[in-house]
Amino acid sequence: MIIGIGVDIIEISRIQQSVERYGDSFLRKLFTENEIRYCSSKVFPVQHYAARFAAKEAFAKAIATGWSGDFEWKNVEVKNDALGKPSFELYGKTADALQGCTVFLSMSHSDDAVVAFVVIEKK
């Protein structure tokens, strides 16, 4: 049974501006060390940060509580498998709250924007 759906789209330039203005403090507030390492290794890191930002926003919408309460940005990590397929790794109270659920993630981008779509299914 589907218990949540979320979608988010963001202009890459918004993330670029935040990175330029706030630097590492912006990145470390929103992204795990693994995400920072992954994105920083790419030719266009901001595009990858923007995709992860959109994924986390879509996740927040899918859980229907947003980022209030016990949910934290860094408790939701976006990972890619060997073929590039994205998925979430959940930690802490976020993982506890979604035990018994499967979370699906799809992301896409153009030159200017990224979009992420999340579905949460209870097994």
pTM for this model (two decimals): 0.93
**Where are the domains positioned within the chain?**
2-122
Instruction: Give the model confidence (pLDDT) of 68-114 as tens digits.
Output: 666 689 999 999 999 999 999 999 989 999 999 999 999 999 999 99
Structure tokens at 27: 């990145």
CB 50 within 8 A of CB 39: no
CATH 4.10.93.10 fits 2-122, yes or no: no
Torsion, CA 118, CA 121, CA 122, CA 123, rounded to 10: -130
CA pair distance 56, 74, nearest whole angstrom:
9
Instruction: Give the model confidence (pLDDT) of 23-81 as tens digits.
Output: 999 999 999 999 999 999 999 999 999 999 999 999 999 998 666 666 689 999 999 99
